[in-house]
């Protein structure tokens, strides 16, 4: 009897394996499309194009408004610092942010230093956990989980990219959505894309973009917005957010043919490509508002060291745009200030000072 | 001492309330944009426009391919039925779907009947739970939770819309993402929009759209796709899916000015508006592929009863399109077949016959 039962189980097992192979319903992942890398073809971006249409430029005397991210970031920081000061004196509490870093990439260290300094300036306490490059997934998951459990930690950021052996998606999924101040958790992203729903956090770069536009009185509703580049942390969520603000949004990427034919119809252009100066003046409509999310390290023209360059050829774009962010000093500082603002919001929620999402 | 402590607590409380009012950081929800209703202005859609450009039409003899949803749905159903038959004979198990209905809207009953019939045809067992229109949120949540817990139920669908006193978002959030065969849970939507991530389920209408395109060999990568209308269940997730297939996607909605200027540049047009015949022939580029997601009840031309009409003026569009879905008989049947396919996938996952998302 016992052997018979075992036999049946084995037979089931065989059938199951056989069934596994012969089941032929279309693979569900086929519906999600091929996971192709976005490889942009860099164009010549050192010289001005010979066909740059001078006629598109404004008449003499026009000056594009420079969307000064530094000063807006400064305002936000002052506000956040003031709130934290009052929080401390009022209830004796303050926000805490945990930064998790794996390995010792130089750029990651630099980014973290910028974040830590900003936190320090406004009164957010930080703790940095650095794990060795070869740490296991489970070690990393344990660290993240431990900060999920700590009630006195209000935000957790996982410095990306992770070393290749770690499953980024899996780790991000473990960060509690209520402490996910980067806004990358699928449930936060899901609640970002659907109108009427409220994520705990909106990712910092898209939030910074909206802040810059709103602060400068740029109307979004009904405008045509084109996002060039669809990174998970910037371009893609920015497209969602602009759509929630009722812009008509087109999302361009490395497989878009003739992107300039689409960008030249846009009232708002957001560049998130990662190639210096790829967006030329002749890609733009007169009067466009340009948000440059690029932060590319390029050789300094002086020949000494490196400097940061945007994705937009500023010298050309400034001649046709009605407003434009500089690089550096545009999106960068505002993005950092949004991290502070998200962390403060999280602490306020934890302390019962705001409801879920106000 | 005790009184002193109480005093301090009270003082803290007062400060807290005061602080609550005086905290002046920008409201986070402002970043999400105003939650405006999509009110489309219906144009005259009974007569052909006088300016309909005859020149755009194909030469004599051209026939647009009719994307026959009925026959594709039939193929999928046969495949699903065959798999379930083999599943039953192999391991003695089969998929089960729970349908939760609140109130007694006539249209909801009709939709459910269609789904139940399709499930029955392929061997998916169904259970319908009907709650009274005035049921409380907690009663509904209890029902949904109970099906989350039942291991022999593989899919849960919540028939929308819910009566207004119920918080749709809250209820959807309670459906287990692993049984969310409609694909509406925020974490499934979040994993749908981010390349590389894998939701448990892709919503049925977008999945049906991709199925129709792929089955007819329509290339998506690098093509310009325009989605008109951004409903949570159809237009919006279709835009995400087409983007994952590397189309350049523009999302049009009620606040888009001159939508026809954008649609006429598209290689693929998806209509999800809810207004019969709003998309005219002169909105379309010659050779476009048209997916009509509309299913509008209109008076039958014969004057007797009602019939279903799409969002696209078929008679005009068929003259310029290279392929087009009819209504009825296009997206409708394919969408239903995708619900069957999702429910089967869920059961296969529960029985260990496929991994998470294959």
Catalytically active residues of A, by annotation: 115, 159, 182
DSSP for A167-235 reads -HHHHHHHS-TTT-TT--SHHHHHHHHSTT---S---HHHHHHHHHHHHTT---TT-EEEEE---TTTH
Which residues of chain A neighbour B19 with C-beta distances below 8 Å? 86-87, 90-91, 353
Are B27 and A255 an interchain contact pair (Cβ–Cβ within 8 Å)?
no
Nearest chain B CA: its distance from A305 CA (Å): 35
Residue A255 to residue B185, Cβ atoms within 8 A: no
Q: Which helix (H) or strand (E) holds A290?
A: strand A289-292
Where does the pLDDT of residue A146 fall: very low under 50, low under 70, confident under 90, or very high at 90 and above? very high
Q: Smallest CA–CA separation between B60 and chain A, in Å?
A: 31
Q: In whole angstroms, what is the distance from residue B23 CA to residue A344 CA?
A: 11
Question: In this structure, are strands A65-66 and A323-324 parallel, antiparallel, or unpaired?
Answer: parallel
What gap in Å lies between CA B245 and CA B253, rounded to an integer?
22
How does residue A46 score in pLDDT terms, banded at 50, 70 and 90? very low
* Spatial contact of B228 and B273, defined as CB atoms under 8 Å apart: yes
Domains of chain B, CATH where assigned: 94-179 (3.40.50.10860), 204-334 (3.40.50.720)
C-alpha to C-alpha distance for B184 and B51, rounded to whole angstroms? 41
A31–B210 C-beta distance less than 8 A: yes
Distance from the A304 Cα atom to the nearest Cα atom in chain B, whole angstroms: 38
The Cα–Cα gap between A94 and A306 comes to: 38
| Beta-bridge partner residues of B126 | B97
Q: What is the pLDDT of residue B27?
A: 53
pLDDT of residue B61: 67
Compute φ and ψ for A13, nearest 5 degrees. Answer: -60, -45
Active-site residues of B, by number, are 115, 159, 182
* CB-nearest partner of A29 from B230, B253, B357: B357
Min Cα distance A301 → chain B (Å) is 35
Res A354: pLDDT: 80
* 3-state secondary structure string across chain B: CHHHHHHHHHHHHHHHHHHHHHCCCCCHHHHHCCCCCCCCCCCCCCCCCCCCCHHHCCCCCCCCEECCHHHHHHHHHHHHHHHHHHHHHHHCCCCEEEEEEECCCHHHHHHHHHHHHHHHHHCCEEEEEEECCCCCHHHHHHHHHHHHHCCCCCEEEECCCCCCCCCHHHHHHHCCCCCCCCCCCHHHHHHHHCCCCCCCCCCHHHHHHHHHHHHCCCCCCCCEEEEECCCCCCHHHHHHHHHHCCCEEEEECCCCCCHHHHHCCCCEEEECCCCCCCECHHHCCCCCEEEECCCEEEECCCCCCEEEECCECHHHHHHHCCEECCCCCCHHHHHHHHHHHHHHHHHHHHCCCCCCCC
Measured torsion, CA atoms of residues A72, A78, A81, A83, in degrees rounded to the nearest 10: -90
Chain B residues with beta carbon closer than 8 angstroms to that of A219: none
Q: Which residues pair with A312 in a beta bridge?
A: A279
As a whole number of angstroms, the distance between CA B153 and CA A81 comes to 51
Q: Please give the torsion angle defined by the CA atoms of residues A40, A249, B335 and B48, in that order, rounded to the nearest 10 degrees.
A: -120
Q: Mean pLDDT throughout A317-327? A: 97
Closest by Cβ to B196, choosing from A12, A169, A341: A169
Provide the pLDDT for residue B212. Answer: 96
Q: From A87, which residue of chain B is nearest by alpha-carbon distance?
A: B19
Collect all residues with Cβ–Cβ distance below 8 Å to A342 and sequence separation of at least 6: A155, A181, A182, A183, A201, A202, A204, A207
Q: Is residue A356 predicted with pLDDT exceeding 90?
A: no
Provide φ and ψ at B299, rounded to 5°: -65, 135
d(CA A177, CA A164): 24
pLDDT confidence of residue A209: 97
For residue A4, pLDDT beyond 70: no
Nearest CA-CA distance, residue A139 and chain B, Å: 22
Q: How far apart are CA B39 and CA A224, in angstroms?
A: 18
Q: Which of B302, B304, B283, B298 is nearest to B328 (CA)?
A: B298
Cβ-based contacts of A174 with chain B (< 8 Å): none
Q: Do strands B296-299 and B306-309 pair parallel, antiparallel, or not at all (unpaired)?
A: antiparallel
d(CA B150, CA A238): 39
Please state, in angstroms and rounded to a whole number, the distance separating the CA atoms of residues B129 and B101.
Answer: 6
Strand partners, B155: B97
- CB contact under 8 Å between A16 and B345, yes or no, is no
pLDDT one-digit tens code per residue, A116-130:
999 999 999 999 999
Per the CB < 8 Å rule, is A32 touching B249? no
> Given phi > 0 = left and psi -120 to 50 = alpha, else beta, which region is A298?
beta
The structure's pTM equals: 0.88
With contacts defined as CB-CB under 8 Å, which chain B residues touch A358?
27-29
Average pLDDT score, chain A: 88
From chain A, the residues in CB contact with B250 under 8 A are 248-251
Smallest Cβ–Cβ distance between A19 and the set B90, B186, B240 belongs to B90
- With tokens 């957001």, the residue in question is A270
Each residue's pLDDT expressed in tens, for chain B with a length of 358 residues = 333 332 222 223 233 333 333 333 345 567 788 878 888 876 654 444 444 444 456 666 678 999 999 999 999 999 999 999 999 999 999 999 999 999 999 989 999 999 999 999 999 999 999 999 999 999 999 999 999 999 999 999 999 999 999 999 999 999 999 999 999 999 999 999 998 899 999 999 999 999 999 999 999 999 999 999 999 999 999 999 999 999 999 999 999 999 999 999 999 999 999 999 999 999 999 999 999 999 999 998 888 888 999 999 999 999 999 999 999 999 999 999 999 999 999 999 999 998 654 4
Separation between Cα atoms, residue B249 and residue B142, nearest integer Å: 40
Residue in B with minimal Cα distance to A30: B358
**Secondary structure element (H or E) that encloses residue A96, with its range:** strand A96-102
The nearest alpha carbon in chain A to B9 belongs to A91
| Amino acid A99: pLDDT | 97
Selection from B48, B42, B13 nearest residue B317 by Cα: B48
Beta bridge partners of A221: none
Give A79's contacts in chain B (Cβ within 8 Å). 24-25
Determine whether the interchain pair B222/A198 forms a contact, defined as Cβ–Cβ distance below 8 Å: no
User: What is the C-alpha to C-alpha distance for residues B228 and B231, in angstroms, rounded to an integer?
Assistant: 10
Q: Both tokens of residue B111?
A: 């939709």
In angstroms, how far is the first alpha carbon of chain A from the final one? 65
Spell out which residues of chain A touch residue B214, defining contact as CB-CB under 8 Å: 30
In the block, tokens 């936060």 appear at: A188
User: What pLDDT shows up at residue A61?
Assistant: 66
Contact call for A190 and B187, based on CB within 8 A? yes
Give the pLDDT confidence score for residue B355 in this predicted structure.
63
- Position A16 scores a pLDDT of 31
Kindly tell me if the per-residue pLDDT of A312 is higher than 90: yes
Taking one residue from A and the other from B, the number of pairs with CB-CB distance under 8 angstroms is 222
How far is it, in rounded angstroms, from Cα B241 to Cα B269? 14
* Neighbouring C-beta atoms of residue B140, cutoff 10 Å: 22
Q: Which residues on B lie below 8 Å from A20 (Cβ)?
A: 353-354
The count of residues in chain A is 358
Are A248 and B241 inside 8 Å of each other by CB? Answer: no
User: How far off is chain A from B15, nearest CA to CA, in Å?
Assistant: 6
Helix (H) or strand (E) holding A271: strand A268-271
**What CA–CA distance (Å, rounded) separates B240 from B206?**
9
Host H or E run for residue A241: helix A235-244
Average pLDDT, stretch A84-95?
97
**Per-residue pLDDT at A293:** 98
- The interface predicted TM-score (ipTM) is 0.87
Q: Using the beta-carbon criterion (under 8 Å), do B19 and A210 form an inter-chain contact?
A: no
Q: What are phi and psi of A3, to 5 degrees?
A: -65, -40
Distances (CA, A) of A107 to A104, A172, A304, B156, B205: 9, 20, 19, 46, 42
């Amino acid at each position: 009897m016992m052997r018979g039962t075992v036999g049946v189980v084995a037979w089931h097992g065989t059938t199951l394996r056989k069934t596994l192979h012969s089941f032929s319903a279309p693979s569900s992942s086929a519906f999600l499309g091929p996971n192709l890398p976005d490889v942009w073809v860099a164009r010549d971006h050192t010289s001005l194009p010979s066909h740059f249409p001078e006629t598109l430029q404004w008449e003499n005397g026009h000056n594009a408004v420079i969307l000064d991210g530094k000063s807006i970031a400064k305002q936000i920081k002052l506000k956040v610092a003031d709130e934290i000061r009052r929080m401390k004196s009022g209830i004796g509490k303050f926000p805490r942010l945990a930064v998790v870093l794996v390995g010792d990439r130089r750029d990651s260290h630099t980014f973290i230093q910028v974040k830590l300094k900003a936190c320090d300036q406004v009164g957010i306490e930080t703790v940095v956990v650095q794990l060795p490059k070869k740490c296991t997934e489970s070690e990393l998951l344990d660290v993240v989980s431990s900060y999920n459990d700590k009630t006195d930690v209000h935000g957790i950021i996982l410095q990306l990219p992770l070393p290749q052996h770690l499953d980024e998606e899996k780790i991000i999924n473990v960060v509690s959505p209520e402490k996910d101040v980067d806004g990358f958790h699928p449930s936060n992203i899901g609640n970002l894309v659907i109108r009427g729903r409220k994520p705990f956090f909106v990712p910092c770069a898209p939030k910074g973009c909206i802040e810059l536009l709103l602060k400068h009185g740029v109307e979004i509703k009904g405008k045509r917005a084109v996002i060039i580049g669809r990174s998970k942390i910037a371009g893609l969520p920015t497209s969602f957010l602009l759509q929630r603000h009722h812009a008509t949004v087109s999302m361009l990427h490395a497989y878009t043919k003739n992107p300039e034919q689409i960008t030249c119809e846009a009232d708002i252009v957001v560049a998130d490509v990662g190639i210096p100066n790829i967006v030329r003046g002749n890609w733009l409509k007169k009067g466009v508002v340009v948000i440059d999310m690029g932060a590319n390290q390029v050789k300094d023209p002086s020949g000494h060291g490196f400097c940061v360059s945007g994705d937009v050829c500023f010298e050309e774009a400034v001649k046709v745009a009605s407003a434009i962010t500089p690089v550096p000093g545009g999106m960068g500082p505002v993005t950092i200030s949004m991290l502070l603002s998200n962390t403060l919001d999280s602490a306020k929620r934890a302390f019962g000072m705001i409801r879920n999402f106000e």
